[in-house]
Amino acid sequence: MSESSEAVARAVAERFEELYGAAPHGVWAAPGRVNLIGEHTDYNDGFVMPFALPHTAVAAVARREDGVLRLHSADMEDGVAEFRLDDLAPESDRNWTAYPAGVVWALREAGHPVTGADLHLASTVPAGAGLSSSAALEVVVALALNDLYELGLKGWQLARLCQRAENVYVGAPVGIMDQTASACCETGHALFLDTRDLSQKQIPFDLAAEGMRLLVVDTRVKHSHSEGEYGKRRAGCEKGAALLGVDALRDVPYDGLDAALERLGDEEEVRRLVRHVVTEDQRVERVVSLLESGDTRAIGPVLVEGHASLRDDFRISCPELDLVVDTALATGALGARMTGGGFGGSAIVLAEESDVAAIAKAVEEAFAAAGFTAPRVFEAVPSAGARRVL
Ligand code: GAF
């Protein structure tokens, strides 16, 4: 653990003690993520390839035996929220507390003997930026309770429980990528994940060693208002699978795409969704094979294709995301694309180390010229997944 993350963990533990009058039983951290490639494929049983950010949600936690859950966040104005475990019910809570409380609910629903907890949370994952701040919050709570209650659950099992909390308790129809990324990613690697069975392969991804960098550009366009659009895309994909007689769009082979599109006839919107998902799965496989053969720079054009597909077929980009991609490419980037759910949030830019400063400056100037809010630009280094820190 780095000195600075140990300092953060100690500060979170001290605040816990001020709030609750006793030391926590431990401190845990779970990261946000960026997705390198494989967007909107996770609820189609397809492939994704995220890596963990250094930014984390941190939780100081103590067990309780009296059926009470108390929650506090350093990032919210409100005080300590208190719940009786027996009262936790899906979609009863529209506040941030629904994420941690939903995890406790999902653990108990699955039969795990959780009898209560006090939690203090603090996060450095930018909220609303498409970098999985919600999944980080869920996973850090799940991991802490897994350890404190000695449940013995593996990372992928915690991810499934967190997804259930978000789908059912919070009421957001998300896939499994973000929770699995937060729970299972490893330093210096991207996670090649098959979302059908959650089989995983850690792919070495050390850009600095090859003279490259990956920038994250947070457009500051909040994506949270777009949940309805996310659900519509998901429903459209499910309709496509039903019309094609497959369990999920993952089952449409890339070399059978033209025939599938023909079968969909005049269902134009569904055709576009299907085309994105089937080609995106193939892009993930191409990126994996390029990285495995050491041809890292060649993934750039694949990222650009992915952006075009999300913009033109899936229709979830926005002017700010397109401006990042176009400006970065015009300034010499090797590749660029929006990342995450879309409708705002962040883009990623793959570039030679020597071009990074000029690209960041060009993007900032382009945003100013367009009258957009100044973006937040930072370098992303593949970091550790969820872990105990104290
Ligand atoms: C959001 C969702 F939470 C993920 O499950 C995934 O669908 C992603 O959008 C798009 O790839 O982050």
Q: What is the 3-state secondary structure (H, E, C) of the chain?
A: CCHHHHHHHHHHHHHHHHHHCCCCCEEEEEEEEEECCCCCCHHHCCEECEEEEEEEEEEEEEECCCCEEEEEECCCCCCCEEEEHHHCCCCCCCCCCHHHHHHHHHHHHCCCCCCEEEEEEEECCCCCCCCCHHHHHHHHHHHHHHHHCCCCCCHHHHHHHHHHHHHHHHCCCCCCHHHHHHHHCCCCEEEEEECCCCEEEEEECCCHHHCEEEEEEECCCCCHHHHHHHHHHHHHHHHHHHHHCCCCHHHCCHHHHHHHHHHCCCCHHHHHHHHHHHHHHHHHHHHHHHHHCCCHHHHHHHHHHHHHHHHHHHCCCCHHHHHHHHHHHHCCCCEEEEECCCCCCEEEEEEEHHHHHHHHHHHHHHHHHHCCCCCEEEECCCECCCEECC
Residue from 44, 177, 179, 223 whose mutation best tests the ligand 1 pocket (most atoms within 8 A of CB)? 177
Confidence (pLDDT) at 4: 74
Ligand 1 in contact with 345 (CB < 6 A)? no
Which of 43, 125, 174 to probe ligand 1 with, by most ligand atoms within 8 A of CB?
174
Ligand 1 and 102: CB distance under 6 A? no
Q: Is 99 annotated as a binding residue?
A: no
Distance from the CA of 80 to the center of ligand 1, in angstroms? 30
- Residue 166 Cα: closest atom of ligand 1: 3
Distance in Å, CA 112 to ligand 1 centroid = 27
Gap between the Cα atoms of 70 and 315, Å rounded: 41
Q: How far is C-alpha 76 from the chain's CA centre?
A: 21
Report whether residue 174 contacts ligand 1, using a CB cutoff of 6 Å: yes
Maximal C-alpha separation, the chain: 66
Nearest partner of 170 among 72, 258, 94, 76, judged by Cα: 94
24 alpha carbon – ligand 1 mean position (Å): 33
| The pLDDT value given to residue 2 | 66
Q: What is the mean pLDDT of each run of 10 residues along the chain (390 residues)?
A: 80 98 98 98 99 98 98 94 98 96 98 98 96 98 99 98 98 97 98 98 98 98 79 97 98 98 98 99 98 98 99 98 99 98 97 98 98 98 98
**Which tokens hold the place of 152?**
């013995």
Q: Tell me if 132 sits within 8 A of 181, measured CB to CB.
A: yes
What atom in ligand 1 is closest to the CA of residue 38? 11
- Ligand 1: nearest atom to the Cα of 172: 3
Q: What is the pLDDT of residue 224?
A: 64
Estimate the crossing angle of helix 155-164 against helix 177-184, to 10 degrees. 150
CA distance 134 to 128: 9
Residue 103 contacts residue 30 (beta carbons within 8 Å): no
CA of 42 to the centre of ligand 1 (A): 7
Phi, psi of 262 (to 5 degrees): -65, -40
pLDDT of residue 5: 78
Q: What is the pLDDT of residue 121?
A: 98
pLDDT, position 223: 76
Pocket flag, ligand 1, residue 32 (CB < 6 Å): no
Question: Measuring from atom 2 of ligand 1, which residue has the nearest CA?
Answer: 174
Output the pLDDT for position 1: 59
Q: Which atom of ligand 1 is the closest one to the Cα of 177? A: 5
pLDDT for position 77: 87
Q: Is residue 129 marked as binding?
A: yes
Residues in the chain: 390
State yes or no: is 178 an active-site residue: yes
In degrees and rounded to multiples of 5, residue 4 shows phi and psi of -70, -40
Q: Which of 371, 303, 366 is nearest to 333 (CA)?
A: 303
41 in a labelled binding site: yes
Q: Is 193 in the pocket of ligand 1 (CB under 6 A)?
A: no
42 close to ligand 1 (CB < 6 Angstrom): yes
| Dihedral class, residue 124 (left if φ above 0, else alpha if ψ from -120 to 50, else beta) | alpha
317 contacts 100 by C-beta, under 8 angstroms: no
CA-nearest residue, atom 1 of ligand 1: 341
Catalytic residue among 45, 93, 118, 178: 178
| C-beta of residue 212 within 8 angstroms of C-beta of residue 334 | yes
